[in-house]
Homo-oligomer: A and B are copies of this chain.
Amino acid sequence: MRGLVMGRFQPFHLGHMALVTQAMAECDDIIIAVTSTQYNYLEKDPFTAGERIEMIRNALNESGIDPGRYMILGLENQHNVATWPAYIRAALPPFQRIYSGNPYVAMLLRDYGTEVAEPDMVDRERFNASVLRRMMADGGDWRERVPPAVARFVESVGGEERVRTILGSDTDPTRH
C-alpha cells in the first residue's frame, strides 16, 4: 500500500512532518507531492519547487527516515480541476491512499478508487504555513515550528529576507 501526502510546503513545518510520519507508519511507502511547483517568489509561494524538495529531503534525512520508503515529487497546478485526478495519476507513480482532511480533495478523488485517509489531529493554529511566513517577515520565532533542517535550509537561502521583501512589496509579478 502506497500513500500520498500533498502540500505546497511553503515552508515544510512540523505539522507536515507529523502527517508524513503518520502516513509512513500506516503505508509500505509514500509519495510526498509538492504542489504549485510553477510558483515561487510570491507572497504565498516564496520558495521554489527545488528548494521545497531540498528542505523536505533534509528534514527526513535528519529524522533518520528510511529514504527507501518515500519519494518527493512535484505537481503543477491545473486550472481545469476536473482533470486534476487524471493529471496526478499521470504525473505520479501508482498510489492507493491519499492523506487529506480536506473534503474538497476527497470529493475530487471519490470516483477514482483512491482511499482517502484522515490525518491525525495537529494544532492547525500553530502549524500553519501562512502564519509561519508572516513570522519570517516579522522576525518571529518560526524556527521552533519547523524541523531544524528546514530552519537551516531557509537560513541558507536567505529565506527571512526574501519573505520580508516579498511581503513588503506590492508587486505581484505574475499579474502586474
Question: What total of chain A residues lie within 8 Å of the partner, measured CB to CB?
Answer: 61
The complex is assembled from copies of this chain, and their number is 6
Residue-wise, chain A 151-176 has the 8 Å CB interface mask toward B (1 for contact) of 00000000001100110110101111
Query: Given contacts A71-B57, A168-B103, A171-B104, are A36 and B90 in contact (CB under 8 A)?
Result: no
- Of A39, A68, A84, A176, most buried by chain B (CB within 10 Å of CB) is A176
Q: Which chain A residues have a beta carbon within 8 Å of chain B's beta carbons? A: 8, 35-42, 44-45, 48-51, 53-54, 57, 61, 66-68, 71-74, 76-87, 89-94, 102-105, 107-108, 161-162, 165-166, 168-169, 171, 173-176
| Listed A/B pairs (19) with beta-carbon separation below 8 Å | A39-B79, A39-B80, A39-B81, A40-B90, A48-B89, A48-B91, A50-B90, A50-B93, A67-B67, A68-B68, A81-B174, A82-B87, A82-B90, A83-B83, A84-B173, A102-B171, A104-B165, A104-B169, A104-B173
A41 pairs with B173, CB closer than 8 A: no
